Amino acid sequence: MSSDDVSHDSSATLAGSDEQSKVNSSRRYFLIGATSAVAGVGVVGAAVPFLSYWSPSAKARAMGAPVKIDFSKLKPGELMSPIVAWRGKPIFVVYRTPDSISALENQSQDLADPDSENPEQQPDFAKNPTRSMRPEIGIYVGICTHLGCSPKYVESEVFAESDSQGGFFCPCHGSTFDLAGRVATGVPAPDNLPVPPYRFESDTSVVIGEEGAA
């Protein structure tokens, strides 16, 4: 075999090796790219359930949304029924009589917090004897501040004084509240019934969960 033939064969071998190397490199880059793409899809796929988990559901959003209550059929001396829920909590809407309002304005003895000194229990507009924006309409979260039971509405009962015009009684452990949601002394409940933020939309409708002028 001549030296030219040997040289030709060597060149062919080197050319073949270069082509094979290019093929292997292309295949390697393709595999790396494909693997990265699959991994990226996997990360996105895993992130979607994760993000969905942290996204609040429609039910959760609805529980925190304001609630409109129409009390046009409510009469003096009555508690609105059925009871409307806001944020999963019952809301008491009571229509007080003139005698009840007068009793609340004059009643301060035997009450643990008659002047509503705890700012966490009511908005600023409810820091008054009736703990309300309008004296005749009382709006309270219907959950006893002792262990979270739901008190019962009593139209006429002696809670603090002989001229008491009724209020709320918790049958679980005997806590009592007047018609302004103020807790009596010497009962298990430590605080008054909370007053939720609200605003009157009209004379006979109120929005729970928002504050402002009517």
Q: Which two tokens stand for residue 61?
A: 């959003």
Positions annotated as catalytic residues are 173
Whole-number Å distance between alpha carbons of 87 and 67 = 9
Residue ranges per structural domain of the chain: 1-55, 60-208
Residue with tokens 């007053």, as numbered in its chain: 195
Q: Return averaged pLDDT per consecutive 10 residues of the chain, 214 residues in all.
A: 50 50 53 49 45 49 81 95 93 94 85 90 93 97 91 72 73 90 93 96 95 67
Residue type for position 28: R
In CATH, what class is 60-208? mainly beta
Whole-number Å distance between alpha carbons of 140 and 192 = 10
Burial of 49 (0-12, 13-18, 19+ CB in 10 A): exposed
User: Is the pTM value of this prediction over 0.85?
Assistant: no
Amino acid 105: pLDDT: 87
3-class SS of residue 195: coil
